[in-house]
Structure 1
Amino acid sequence: MQFQALIVLFSLLSIVHGTAVWSEWEDFQVHHNKSYHSVEEHRRRFLIFVDNRQRIAEHNKRWAVGQESHLLGINRFADMSPKEFKELLLRGVQPSKGLGDVHFMPPDVELGALPRAVDWRSRHAVTEVKDQGNFNTCWSFAATGVIESRYAIKYGHLQSLSEQNLVDCCLGSEQGYNTWRAMGCTEQLGGIDTESSYPYQGDANVCRYRPAASAARVFNAVFLPPGNERIMAQALLRGPLAVSIDADSIQLYKGGVFHDSYCSKVSVNHGLLVVGYGTDPLSGDYWLLKNSWGSQWGENGYIRMARNNNNQCGVASEVLYPIV
């Protein structure tokens, strides 16, 4: 009965919205392995997909005539409304309150000359792009990312570390978490296990940290002065940095230098890893950020965020790195 209802529904929707849209919808479901529980769910997801497709088309028309600096595109989040996307993935970062035993880089630190571009991936100090799935665990990926990189730079060995270790052992009863707390938790545990010994699942479970499988230790964390992109660039010369941004607008990001004048500099809700910076000949300065939404999102899992542009999306509002 449900199968017959689906045929009728899909026939009507394809007539209303056109065969091209319907073909894209079918391709989208196959490519991203989507399945829905009911006819109503199929209908709702399709209509959201149509809305997002229209939003992408309108934005990219502006991009084509130089009115936008970044492209949008269909990705695995294209069947989610902006509200759903935010509620599912962007509630995992809490403001850094009660900082405790952390160090702050002084704002008057001596600033030297900066190279034109930095990319720690070329120095074998960044692991592959990972995927947090449909869990608001971005803070754990930002934490492992910055520890992995700083450890590789200091000790010459790049090792993938366990986000699940942090989710199970550090989350507790918190309604959301953040990267600096993960640093403190790792310090208290005495280390963090490897990815292979403690694979990612997403949902929090019983803490199974094993010192024998530990691959890195953290002794403290250093916060950068908020909003200071010059000091941020200086600090990046010594290694990648963990940051938090307002990610409400990057759901359908495909490429280019991201800029959104409505992006908040205060209400950050998503953790990422800054691995470099550079300058685009058309769109200007950017930060190179590693995300945790898989390699099919954005530019192979990365986003270029506007740099020296009034702290775009709060990219310089909460910046830290661990002492390893």
Structure 2
Amino acid sequence: MFLSRALLSTLAATLIAASSAERYNEIKIRDDAIHNSELKSPLPHSYIELGSLPDSFSWADVDGSSYLTHSLNQHVPQYCGSCWAHGSISSLADRIKIARGAQGDDINLSIQFVLNCGSETAGSCHGGYHTSTYEFIKSTGYIPYDTCQPYIACSKESTDGFCSHVDTTCSAGGTCKTCDTFAGMGGACTEIDYFPNATVAEYGLIDFDEDNIEGTCHKIMAEIFARGPVAATINAEPIVKYAGGVYTETGHPTETNHIVAIVGWGACPKTGKKYWIVRNSWGQYWGEMGYMRLEMGKNLLGIEGEIAWATPGSFTVMNFPCYENGENCVKQQEYLDPSMDIVSMQRRLKAHNDAERKNIRG
């Protein structure tokens, strides 16, 4: 059967569109995912009334200080669909900064570690989920600081850019390592087993009530105000070309394909219309220095439907002092067969024989 050129063109366009939709859906949810840990602390909306919350609040400016960690770009050095990790982990890092009163250097957490070791639980460059990220960190018991494992936008199945040429396996070196000098000068890469890290104490998903969005917004605002930024799903297609201002467009699907962080809210001076302050992970060239404002209370783009939060458990403030090459911070060393070192073995044999001859002569 022969197909017309027009029909072939239509089929090709359909396939390309389907491929693009698959590529850009960065949300993947496991059937057995645990979205709420065992809760030990009361939820903020249970003790903060809606009427007591301010009209505007942002962790970017609390009495002139920012309690937010640095902005991120998930798409360099090549595209990686890891928004789920960026939105959730940056929110956790913000909460650590809040707990420290914004004192000292920022503690930034290793997204690459989660890509290396959390592919079965949290996600990969081809999608994941915010609560699954917190589930992974809590069950693993730690997440290293990002100086252990900087972000390279690769996971084990990635082939974009240089990904097929780098090691992203979950190993000691894939958790924390350092490389001492150039290999041509005798340097080597060494795993670090004693490293600064943070933990997750609790995490959860805020219940969405379609019939009471004001009540849902109350829960979100109370959570942000009391404990810090949250991770949120969003339909990202309509905001690809967002260039500033309060986004108010209706009529777009609320099915989501991307994850961001909400760091606060505000209100328009003239209209009083409230909006969320959203931090994206597309770099500071996008939107309003990497942020956007999105109208509150209408579940626009699905922003209020799947909100995740996590509280830090512990975090390192004084490290175990490792040497520059890390040699004193390795718990165990791989066995090296001494018989393979022929030169050293011959040297030992010569020394042993020389000693025997000396004893005989003596």
TM interval, short-chain normalised: 0.5 to 0.7
Q: How many angstroms apart in 2 are the aligned matches of 1:115 and 1:96?
A: 37
Pairwise CA distance, 1:108: 7.5
Matching of residue 178 in structure 1 with residue 129 in structure 2: yes
- Unmatched 5+ residue regions in structure 2? 1-15, 156-167, 177-192, 210-215, 313-362
Superposed counterparts of 1:135-174, under 5 Å: 135-156=80-101, 158-172=106-120
Question: Could you tell me whether the CA contact under 8 Å between 1:107 and 1:225 is conserved in 2?
Answer: no
Q: How many angstroms apart in 1 are the aligned matches of 2:45 and 2:147?
A: 42
Q: How many angstroms apart in 2 are the aligned matches of 1:85 and 1:119?
A: 35
* CA distance 1:84–1:282, change in 2 (3 Å): farther
Matching of residue 314 in structure 1 with residue 302 in structure 2: yes
Superposed counterparts of 1:58-97, under 5 Å: 86-88=21-23, 90-95=24-29, 97=31
| Range with greater deviation from structure 2 (270-279 or 163-172) | 163-172
Superposed counterparts of 1:96-111, under 5 Å: 97-100=31-34, 101-102=36-37, 109-111=46-48
- Please state whether the residue corresponding to 2:266 is helix, strand or coil: strand
- Please state whether the residue corresponding to 1:254 is helix, strand or coil: coil
Structure possessing the higher radius of gyration over alpha carbons: 2
TM-score by structure 2 length? Answer: 0.61
Q: How many angstroms apart in 1 are the aligned matches of 2:110 and 2:80?
A: 15
Matching of residue 193 in structure 1 with residue 182 in structure 2: no
CA RMSD of aligned residues (A): 2.6
Q: How many angstroms apart in 2 are the aligned matches of 1:295 and 1:84?
A: 27
- Please state whether the residue corresponding to 1:316 is helix, strand or coil: coil
Question: Could you tell me whether the CA contact under 8 Å between 2:230 and 2:262 is conserved in 1?
Answer: yes
- Please state whether the residue corresponding to 1:212 is helix, strand or coil: coil
- Please state whether the residue corresponding to 2:243 is helix, strand or coil: strand
The answer for the alignment partner of 1:206 in structure 2 is 169
TM-score by structure 1 length? Answer: 0.67
| Range with greater deviation from structure 2 (250-259 or 146-155) | 146-155
Q: How many angstroms apart in 2 are the aligned matches of 1:213 and 1:143?
A: 21
Q: How many angstroms apart in 2 are the aligned matches of 1:203 and 1:241?
A: 25
Pairwise CA distance, 1:246: 1.1
- Please state whether the residue corresponding to 1:132 is helix, strand or coil: coil
**AA of the residue aligned to 2:238:** S
* CA distance 1:82–1:127, change in 2 (3 Å): farther
Matching of residue 277 in structure 1 with residue 228 in structure 2: no
| Range with greater deviation from structure 2 (121-130 or 237-246) | 121-130
Question: Could you tell me whether the CA contact under 8 Å between 2:278 and 2:292 is conserved in 1?
Answer: yes
**AA of the residue aligned to 1:243:** A
Match of 1:120 among 41, 59, 69: 59
Q: How many angstroms apart in 2 are the aligned matches of 1:218 and 1:108?
A: 21
Deviations 1:220-260 (A, max 9, x none): 30221115112111111121111111111011101011122
Q: How many angstroms apart in 1 are the aligned matches of 2:17 and 2:109?
A: 31
**AA of the residue aligned to 1:263:** H
- Please state whether the residue corresponding to 2:237 is helix, strand or coil: coil
Q: How many angstroms apart in 2 are the aligned matches of 1:311 and 1:304?
A: 13
- Please state whether the residue corresponding to 1:305 is helix, strand or coil: strand
The answer for the alignment partner of 1:241 in structure 2 is 230
**AA of the residue aligned to 2:69:** T
**AA of the residue aligned to 2:67:** A
* CA distance 1:270–1:86, change in 2 (3 Å): same
* CA distance 1:97–1:103, change in 2 (3 Å): farther
Pairwise CA distance, 1:111: 3.9
* CA distance 1:180–1:307, change in 2 (3 Å): same
Pairwise CA distance, 1:219: 2.2
- Please state whether the residue corresponding to 1:167 is helix, strand or coil: helix
Identity across matched positions, percent:
23
Pairwise CA distance, 1:116: 1.6
Question: Could you tell me whether the CA contact under 8 Å between 2:44 and 2:222 is conserved in 1?
Answer: no
Pairwise CA distance, 1:213: 2.6
* CA distance 1:260–1:103, change in 2 (3 Å): farther
| Range with greater deviation from structure 2 (287-296 or 189-198) | 189-198
Match of 1:323 among 280, 301, 311: 311
Q: How many angstroms apart in 2 are the aligned matches of 1:307 and 1:273?
A: 14
Matching of residue 297 in structure 1 with residue 286 in structure 2: yes
The answer for the alignment partner of 1:223 in structure 2 is 205
Say which structure is richer in helix.
Answer: 1
Q: How many angstroms apart in 1 are the aligned matches of 2:25 and 2:265?
A: 27
* CA distance 1:84–1:251, change in 2 (3 Å): farther
Q: How many angstroms apart in 2 are the aligned matches of 1:223 and 1:274?
A: 14
The answer for the alignment partner of 2:161 in structure 1 is none
